[in-house]
Amino acid sequence: MEFGLMGKTAIVTGGSKGIGRAIAIALAAEGCKVVICGRGEAALNETKQRIEGQGGEVFAVQADLTKQEDVDRLISETISHYHTLDILVNNAGIVGGFFDFEALSVEDWEEVFNVNLFGMVRVTKAALPYMKKEASTRIINISSESGIQPDPFMPHYNASKAAIINFTKSLSKAYAKDGILVNTVSPAFVMTPLLEDNLKADAEEQNITFDEAVQQFLEKNRPHIEVKRPGRPEEVADAVVFLASNKASFITGENIRVDGGSVASQ
């Protein structure tokens, strides 16, 4: 399928690891000039080498999206390097711990919102003036099924992801007139390195196998995943590529769930 992405410039925040890395690789494979950002230099360099090794074009910027000066530098270096900005994938985020409400401090809430929501706000605000100059641009925000169907634990994370879905809808109504389509992608239980490490620790603590720990987590926390397995980062990336493409030219303000049927309602 021809997605019409050849030569487009795309920023993927949190693009050095997990879902962000898969998105960056997928966009580069479709011919995008990809800018990845993250806080860790080693992971950025490794992902950059991976994309270049597959023939893709990539530019890496080390940045902390809780710092306005880093956000401004990310956008200015992108424009300096590639001159345009067509696609923004706001993926950077943290979990902030698998804790219940009473175990969380107000500072825990502030940290998660500062990265997950306000990091997204900072980058979007800085990027919009350049995206308005292009004929057809896309903003894709990565949320989570937890933003719709929250868990009883990690309420700070759940609430931040719900806010992202609402933020997306607001932007979609405000900027459609400028040719900017804004959508959300909400994954369910995706086997990222972070979740894999947590499940390995659970397996070791309980003296069970990793596969048993995965199934235990599914049965306890994600019983409605009808395909009975975790998702893969590449499956989330496929949805992002579609929304970034000319095949999604009449879609805006939507929340595309990549969840294996996990969300029990519409």
**Hey, which residues are catalytic here?**
157
Helix (H, G, I), strand (E, B) or coil at 203: helix
What is the residue type of 6? M
Count Cβ atoms within 10 A of the Cβ of residue 233 and give its class: 0-12 exposed, 13-18 middle, 19 or more buried. buried
Q: Are 200 and 211 in contact (CB under 8 A)?
A: no
**Contact at 8 Å (CB) between 237 and 22?**
yes
CA atoms within 13 A on the CB side of 68: 2
Neighbour tally for 40: CB within 10 Å: 11
Give the H/E segment covering residue 52. Answer: helix 41-53
| CA proximity to 32, closest of 88, 90, 93, 91 | 88
Closest CA to 144 of 135, 136, 154, 134: 154
